[in-house]
Amino acid sequence: MHRAICPGSFDPLHNGHVEVVARAAALFDEVVVAVSTNPHKRYRFDADRRLALARESFADVAGVVVEPMGAGLLAQYAARRGAVALVKGLRSGEDYAYEVPMATMNRDLTRVETVFLPGDPRYLHLSSTLVKEVHGLGGDVSGFVPAPVLAALRG
């Protein structure tokens, strides 16, 4: 089985994430959406809620599993899960410059490769931070997030 990991905090999950994970699911036998928590970040949704929203959002995507990443290095998590690849969506050259050193370190640590998928042009402007900001200021984010996330933001 060829398993890939799509890691992230997903706070909140947006359509750019969904699109990359769905494409990854067409390439690998299984894609694990690994929801991480950084103790230095301030979250809109706690870890349990982010997990639940991701599970709801990917319920109809075959081959996608959602689980908490837990503490520790992503490379070690990937090795424990038997993943052959990490999948990262790229919106721009800045994303690439940020991700390449981590990809190289992960490969050096555990031999897990990183696969970069260019983001869909419809979502290149999206980030979780921007979605939270627009929503917080009363903007309509309905075109940018899956239905379960939109309901949670409104709820």
- Catalytic positions: 17, 41, 91, 128
Beta strands, E only, the chain: 3-8, 30-35, 64-68, 85-90, 113-118
How would you classify the pairing of strands 113-118 and 3-8? Answer: unpaired
Which of 110, 147, 118 has its CA nearest to residue 19?
118
The whole-angstrom separation of Cα 68 and Cα 37 is: 8
Q: Report, in this order, helix, strand and coil percent for the chain, each rounded to 5.
A: 45, 20, 35
